[in-house]
Homo-oligomer: A and B are copies of this chain.
Amino acid sequence: MASSELKDKVYGELSRITQAISNPKRMELLDLLSQKSWSVEELAREINMSVASTSQHLQVLKVARLVQARRQGNFIFYQVADDHVLRLVSAVKDLGFTRYAEIDRVLQDYNEESHSLESITLEELMKRSGKEKIMLIDVRPPDEYASGHIRNAISIPLPELKKRFKDLPKDKTIVAYCRGPLCVMAQEAVKFLNSKKFKAIRMEDGYVDWKLKQVS
């Protein structure tokens, strides 16, 4: 085989990956799958698409070996294949968020308040949690917490916050996180807690960001 054929073969294989993530709906699927396993039906509802189309997109991701399927009862649950996939999705999002002012503008328009809320990054959290009293709460749905969460975070799903906020300490800073910057749950939690005179701040990074920092 000539050298150019060799290169074509290699980049052809690599483009099986990039081809698979080239579609907006498939990026959305991968982003959802980064949090937990989902059935096809759930995913279809979440991304606003017919079950058949969703299934086809999942097939594409499966053939590229970015996701895996397993049956559980009547349902088939999909999940990301491994951390390399998380890293790839994360690299795309990092690039996108730093690059495209459009995304930020869209998000800001959607929720003016969100940007006025105090927020910290994962790194700041790490530093500060050594020095001061901080309580980290994960406000995502319980199944997502169960399938992985930041160490020492406790689960208080957003809908439960109104019942459980009284148990929270007033002398600690409460840091709330959810799926990531695109998710509004942590923001809602912080607004609510602040209205109840807690010292609450948001962290935009999510579990996946934390997880990826652990290994390296």
Contacts and interface: CB of A to CB of B under 8 A. Distances in A.
Interface stretch (A12-20, A143-151, A192-200): A12-20
Given A22-B18, A22-B19, A1 B96 contact: no
Interface string A1-24: 101101111111111111101111
A28 interface: yes
Interface string A80-93: 00001101101111
Contacts of A9: 102-103, 106
Interface string A136-177: 000000000000000000000000000000000000000000
Q: Is the interface of A mostly helix, strand, loop or mixed?
A: helix
Interface of A: 1, 3-4, 6-19, 21-25, 27-28, 31, 48, 65, 84-85, 87-88, 90-96, 98-100, 102-103, 106-107, 109-110, 182, 216
14 contacts: A1-B110, A3-B110, A6-B110, A7-B182, A9-B106, A10-B182, A14-B24, A15-B23, A21-B22, A65-B99, A84-B95, A87-B91, A87-B95, A90-B91
